[in-house]
Structure 1
């Protein structure tokens, strides 16, 4: 016996009795109503899985309008309940009208018992499918909220930051492509997430892709997906980042690290608003909000022939420049206090304060690593602190003039950091040119930068 609740509504008591007898051996609960007006006061209508509803109740009337009226009333109260319409006056146009208004099926009187039972069973399966879909939608919505949950915050009230946030607020409401630029550690990803949070796509996913960590050989598979069997390890169909971000926002970080070959493939996807999985020839339309970021000077890279001008135009409808921390007057101490409380709580060291001399030291430092460097500095200071007051000596800031390399012994990591920083500075953030001067591949240089920034 199927664990389902059935309700039969008909003004013919013989029909009610016949259906009750037929269905009671198949389903857990079978209830009947002689008067459709009782639908309004029927208790727990949402718990009814299937309603068998007559289409005509008044004597001499066979238009079916009464049944359609009560169909709409049931659907208002319980949208997921499957409703099967019944009538002795069969008409194709009436059946089509009922189905358009939400009926799951149509039965003619007199009915065939076997066919009726099959119809009711199909209606019950439809009801269960709707419930499963609703549950999946709830889980999907919860998952999207979890994925989009921003555990970081945009902290500060400097004029430079407020100007950026004002621009973000204006741009977020549109779907234009945005290019975010700025030095390493300035918070470009946070700005991208803020754009998503304030947009009409905020309830959809925000997908973050580090373009610098994707090799040319895996580029198409990672971004566009692949079909089963398209290469050795392709054991199943797999959606790429573009498909995963459909209806949401796609954030492509480290755009300056793309080769010209991958730039061409990316441009095609952006222009056509569709992708083709590796090993397939079927275009898949995608609807995304594209946000890109880089610490490179893309205009100079275009001049140097390292970045496609047409791609730059595509991703750069709106340009947002995130200011370095040294230009955000007043925000250094605000951020330092935020990180102090965060790490004091994390490492169970409540009551920590920064004394005036230490605050001056933090204010005078140029913060080449920006907010990320400040965050790591505060965490290290909290971990190593021995009292409740942080003094200047608790903050290890490695700011050395270039000539000190000739007069002081430094670690290999410090020397490597200096050489990489100097090369990038000389080439205006151009990773390819800096890597060539240092005698390493661009990927190696990128990996070293990631390691040194941790």
Structure 2
């Protein structure tokens, strides 16, 4: 990978270091994001793809271990094993350097650094990543999951690590990203793969159906209960229970679910006897962690129970290099389904494909390509053969227009305030209600 195409995250509690790193890297890389607080690392890295993290080794009391950098290095490598990490320290401690390299750091540098040396090391790391051509991970799943982008490789890596365990998994991601496919892959790679995989869209269950569907009922428990019926927990016995749209259930339903998960027993409606359950739980939601952390919306104790490990499935707009692979996959699939020869995608077709933002993600791409195969009569597919639903096109245009206007307004406002304060960043940041770091981040965003 070339340096100019790299996205780099810098974490250091010294604001002067952050400013210096930003000024050094701004003109040389695609994007540089800086932050003082290491507690933001997970959210920042879940929100976008970084090729490299530059991480300080000592923070002011955030983790009382004496070597905080090792702690945060382990957190990064646990969730994002493919991302390179360079550790920074003000102390030339050889033992600590060796330990950090053993823990997975890609390099170790001493403060104050030499700019040329740092840039050389970063360039070598990025080149090594490109030339090494690490083996692409493919999930062994009956339902093929396509993806060679870095973000999907991170997902595949995490799936292969956690699938053999009985850890409860929470899958996060927008609608249409393929959360159910990831859940199926987790089941198929687990030691429970020979047992049932049971899916329930709990977000669609009414309050009256929630308990009867999940926990079952005995004959006569209510008016229409004409016979005993197993609930989904009991049906998944020995296997995997997948609860989709878990973020949409009520607080009362959450309390009932929490009780079952804590006791590992269910009591069918109309019965006084509880039944022991042995299931692996996987949940999914299109809500983000911020919404799920709101205790007025979702119980924190239930969140801890279902979220031993979380997997974020990226939106299609963040995995552009996968679009051609997915298109080829779906075109072959639907050509076979409809008994047609596989048409060739022309440059105009691919250009139109890549110009769309896909708010409906992989599901939208799939349906668009099915329509294209149905309508295509020749040996090639041109841009005119590719149509998107009116609803998605309207969403795409309106969102782009809205973002453009908001960003332009913010950019103009920042320039006016900085000009008013004769270039004084501290005064400008205070007037804008931002920290200096936040203002620098916006200056970088708009390349000002």
Provide Cα deviations, 1:314-356, integer angstroms capped at 9, x if missing partner: 1011010001111113110100011001111111111311101
1:253 to 225, 240, 244: 244
- Residue in structure 2 matched with residue 348 of structure 1 by the alignment: 339
For residues 276 and 304 of structure 1, the distance between their equivalents in structure 2, rounded to whole angstroms, comes to: 27
Matched, 1:153 2:147: no
User: How far apart in 1 are the matches of 2:359 and 2:339?
Assistant: 29
Q: What is aligned with 1:378?
A: 369
Change in 2 beyond 3 A, CA 1:306/1:158: same
- For 1:18-417, what aligned pairs fall within 5 Å after superposition? 152-303=143-294, 305-397=296-388, 398-400=392-394
> Which blocks of at least 5 consecutive residues in structure 2 are unaligned?
1-139, 403-448
| Aligned CA distance change for structure 1 residues 386 and 214 (closer, same or farther; 3 Å) | same
CA distance in 2: counterparts of 1:372 and 1:287, whole angstroms:
33
Q: CA, structure 1 residues 164+401, in 2 after alignment: closer, same or farther (shift >3 Å)? A: closer
User: Could you state the TM-score of these two structures normalised by the residue count of structure 1?
Assistant: 0.55
Q: Residues 298 and 307 of structure 1 are in contact (CA less than 8 Å); yes or no, is this contact kept in structure 2?
A: no
1:340-389 deviations in Å (ceiling 9; x for gaps): 01111111111311101111211221111111000000000111112221
Shift of 1:403: 7.7
Q: Give the greater-gyration-radius structure (CA).
A: 1
Deviations 1:195-252 (A, max 9, x none): 1111110110100111122111111110000011111111111110000001000000
CA distance in 1, matches of 2:221, 2:394: 52
Give 1:306 deviation, angstroms.
Answer: 1.1
Matched length: 259
SS at match of 1:382: helix
Q: CA–CA distance in 2 between the matches of 1:252 and 1:402?
A: 30
For the aligned residues, what is the CA RMSD?
2.1
Once residues 163 and 321 of structure 1 are traced to their aligned partners in structure 2, the CA distance between those partners, rounded to angstroms, is 9
| Consecutive aligned runs of 4 or more in structure 1 exceeding 3 Å deviation | 400-405
SS of aligned partner of 1:264: helix
Q: Is the 8 A contact 1:256 1:298 kept in 2?
A: no
SS in 2 for 1:303: coil
| 8 Å Cα contact 2:331/2:342 also seen in 1 | no
Question: Is 1:154–1:190's contact at 8 Å kept on the other side of the alignment?
Answer: yes
In structure 1, the gaps of 5 or more residues are 1-148, 408-417, 419-454
Matches of 1:272 and 1:299, distance apart in 2: 28
CA shift in 2, pair 1:364/1:309, >3 Å: same
